[in-house]
Structure 1
Amino acid sequence: MDDQAPLLAIALLADRNKRPGALLLRAAGAVPADDAALAALARTAPVFLPAGGDPVDALLQAGCRVLPAEGWLAGDWYMAPPGKPNQRQLASRALALQLAQLVAADADNHEIEALLRRDPALSYHLLRLVNSLGMGLSKKITSFAQAILILGRNQLRRWLNLMLFSSREGDERGPMLMARAASRARLMELLARECGMDKTGQELAFMAGMFSLLGVLFGMPLEEVLAPLRLDPALSAAVLRHEGDAGSLLRIAELAEAADFAALPALLSAMPLRHEDFNASLLQAHAWAMDVVRDEAGAGHG
């Protein structure tokens, strides 16, 4: 696997309202000017290059800009533990954890719907998400039963878990965490496909990316959050111990988020994954995530 393309890394940038609004792109070397995936991402959200370095002409030609001195909040501030919750937030967290448990156990539809009815905010956020333009649906979903019928259980499981990140009342980290979870999960799913994994393996990779951030979301040890969910052993092993192919993909996603260009190549080679395929998957994953958070926010203001 010689003559590999330079690796890319992407970080989320928050706007003045602490919502995902742009992306910060780092490259380990010169990137081809005809990168269609990069140009497509730049049409989805502003893509900036770090200030202070020499701008790469190819990246500028693809639609990137140098990060301005003001206007955007960088860093992983949203990965810090949440503040001490009040009683209402504790009750909401308990319902959210119970919902995650029902979804993980593939519970009966009526059980899930009954729980959603207990917390209108959860129902609101679910319908807001599944009606996002990123879903490509021809008509709006207005009920949980309709969501099941149109989406199917596997897709609904994804959106229910993603919804947990957007429905944390009083937690300003929510929108950024949702974008982080969405991009991580989608990246792992795309990389699983590039590795030749079947649909089951791709779904496992997606869910591993999603579950891996639940500890951050709830401000609890991940083992404690996942214990009552009784996850599939392979999924649990991937999330908690980075075991199996999904665990390796999770490690790759984490290194990509840290822009660790020194450690990434060896892990990619072990899968094996070409740098070009990794870069393309990274760009696609962030385009998808930005679509999700933008459409979710737009639906909330409609």
Structure 2
Amino acid sequence: MTRSSSPVPALIELLADKTRAPSTIRLRPEILDPAMAAEIVSSDAFSALAKRFSCLLVEPVAADAALVEELARQGCKTVPVAALHVLSKDAPAAVPATAAWLAGDWWTAPPAKPNAAQSASRTLALQLVQLVNDDADTHEIEAVLRRDPTMSYQLLRVVNSLGMGMSRQITSFSQAILIMGRAQLRRWLNLMLFSSRQGDERSAMLLARVAVRARTMELLAKASGMDKATQEAAFMAGMFSLLGVLFGMPLAEVLKPLKISDAIRQAVLEHGGDIGCLLDTATWAEQWMPGQDRLDQLHLSAHDFHGLLVESYLWMSEVIQEPNGGKHA
């Protein structure tokens, strides 16, 4: 696939603070028609997002004055360009004292070598993903869960916190698996792969990035009329697409032991098929340039695309606040 010659820059960029934690969204409202941008930033979803994340405009701001005023009303701050530092994976450097936020691809740098406990935990998580994908017996899944106390604790915590209209607490793994359901268990396990790991300063941003990408792909599939199974496959493809970055290995090698569908494998490794088109669109949005021709193929307007992008960032904000229990609506 070739890139579009007519880019439509995305409205939102995720920034990290100096601790490398995702904490801020940068906006570029000037790239949209003022009326369209005003409608998006005045939506309930954007208002909810602005309450969870601080929003920045970086000088010089060329957007419509009324739009900037509306953003300021929602708490969006205008900061000097020196407050933003672009950090590259290829040329790591000290962060200037004037910088408060970090942009760039620093989070895709190879990981530090994990310790034995971290390696074992991620291996178990991958095993669990495979078992759930294979629709394995609950007892098989439970046996693997018992080998990782942290993951076991988090699963029970998530299911207990969901409420689910139950009058008693869930206290066994088999109960938890039954109540959560296989689809949600699969989603939760993928998030667990990316959740915070001691000594890996990339992990918080990786979790945020993978949550946005996967949710964006799912919403793109839904908005373009794809069925529920394809929407779920799109979410999974978004998750799997960053496993190579997570492990610091070729993606094909990470995926080799996983029995995933040909459509997901083709999408993730070759950006092929309908799901590959969704992955292209989601990854280009991260670089602020999803092609208009790509949106046309998905029968989406720029307005609808930016609306679902805001929804994806809002969902991500919920996931990283409770990184092992992001709920999905």
Q: TM-score scaled by structure 2? A: 0.79
Between stretches 218-227 and 71-80, larger displacement belongs to 71-80
Distance in 1 separating the partners of 2:197 and 2:141: 18
For 1:22, the equivalent position in structure 2 comes to 24
For 2:38, the equivalent position in structure 1 comes to 33
- Which of these residues, 77, 80, 96, is aligned with residue 65 of structure 1? 77
Measured after TM superposition, the shift of residue 285 of structure 1 is 0.3
- CA offsets 1:162-193 (integer angstroms, 9 cap, x no match): 11100534322111111111111111111111
SS at match of 1:229: coil
1:183 aligned onto 2:183: no
Distance in 1 separating the partners of 2:106 and 2:239: 19
- Sort the Cα spacing of 1:298 and 1:122 in 2 relative to 1 into closer, same or farther, 3 A: closer
Identical amino acids, percent of aligned pairs? 53
Total equivalences in the alignment:
290
- Which of these residues, 252, 262, 266, is aligned with residue 281 of structure 2? 252
Distance in 2 separating the partners of 1:138 and 1:156: 18
Is the CA contact 2:214–2:239 (under 8 Å) kept in the aligned structure 1? Answer: yes
SS at match of 1:33: helix
Measured after TM superposition, the shift of residue 282 of structure 1 is 0.1
Distance in 2 separating the partners of 1:208 and 1:202: 10
- The answer for unaligned runs of 5 or more in structure 1 is 1-5
Distance in 2 separating the partners of 1:136 and 1:185: 25
Between stretches 168-177 and 55-64, larger displacement belongs to 55-64
List aligned pairs for 1:77-156, cutoff 5 A.
Answer: 77-127=106-156, 143-156=172-185
Distance in 2 separating the partners of 1:231 and 1:192: 19
Distance in 1 separating the partners of 2:190 and 2:176: 14
- Which of these residues, 263, 280, 285, is aligned with residue 234 of structure 1? 263
For 1:44, the equivalent position in structure 2 comes to 52
Distance in 2 separating the partners of 1:142 and 1:175: 29
1:287 aligned onto 2:296: no
- Which of these residues, 184, 194, 199, is aligned with residue 165 of structure 1? 194
Distance in 1 separating the partners of 2:18 and 2:163: 29
Is the CA contact 1:241–1:247 (under 8 Å) kept in the aligned structure 2? Answer: yes
1:278 aligned onto 2:283: no
Is the CA contact 2:159–2:179 (under 8 Å) kept in the aligned structure 1? Answer: no
Is the CA contact 2:13–2:26 (under 8 Å) kept in the aligned structure 1? Answer: yes
Between stretches 19-28 and 68-77, larger displacement belongs to 68-77
SS at match of 1:8: coil
Measured after TM superposition, the shift of residue 298 of structure 1 is 11
Is the CA contact 1:129–1:159 (under 8 Å) kept in the aligned structure 2? Answer: no
For 2:92, the equivalent position in structure 1 comes to none
Larger radius of gyration: 2
Is the CA contact 1:7–1:279 (under 8 Å) kept in the aligned structure 2? Answer: no
For 1:3, the equivalent position in structure 2 comes to none
- Sort the Cα spacing of 1:52 and 1:141 in 2 relative to 1 into closer, same or farther, 3 A: farther
For 2:12, the equivalent position in structure 1 comes to 10
Distance in 2 separating the partners of 1:124 and 1:56: 50
Is the CA contact 2:25–2:55 (under 8 Å) kept in the aligned structure 1? Answer: yes
For 2:91, the equivalent position in structure 1 comes to none
- The answer for unaligned runs of 5 or more in structure 2 is 1-7, 84-98
Is the CA contact 2:271–2:280 (under 8 Å) kept in the aligned structure 1? Answer: yes
Distance in 2 separating the partners of 1:26 and 1:130: 38
- CA offsets 1:277-296 (integer angstroms, 9 cap, x no match): 11110000000101110133
For 2:249, the equivalent position in structure 1 comes to 220
- CA offsets 1:192-249 (integer angstroms, 9 cap, x no match): 1110111111111111111111111111111011110010111111111111111100
Letter paired with 2:23:
G
Is the CA contact 1:129–1:163 (under 8 Å) kept in the aligned structure 2? Answer: no
- CA offsets 1:89-111 (integer angstroms, 9 cap, x no match): 33333223322322332222222
- CA offsets 1:72-91 (integer angstroms, 9 cap, x no match): 23222112110122333333
Measured after TM superposition, the shift of residue 129 of structure 1 is 5.4
Is the CA contact 2:158–2:325 (under 8 Å) kept in the aligned structure 1? Answer: no
Measured after TM superposition, the shift of residue 41 of structure 1 is 2.1
Distance in 2 separating the partners of 1:67 and 1:146: 50
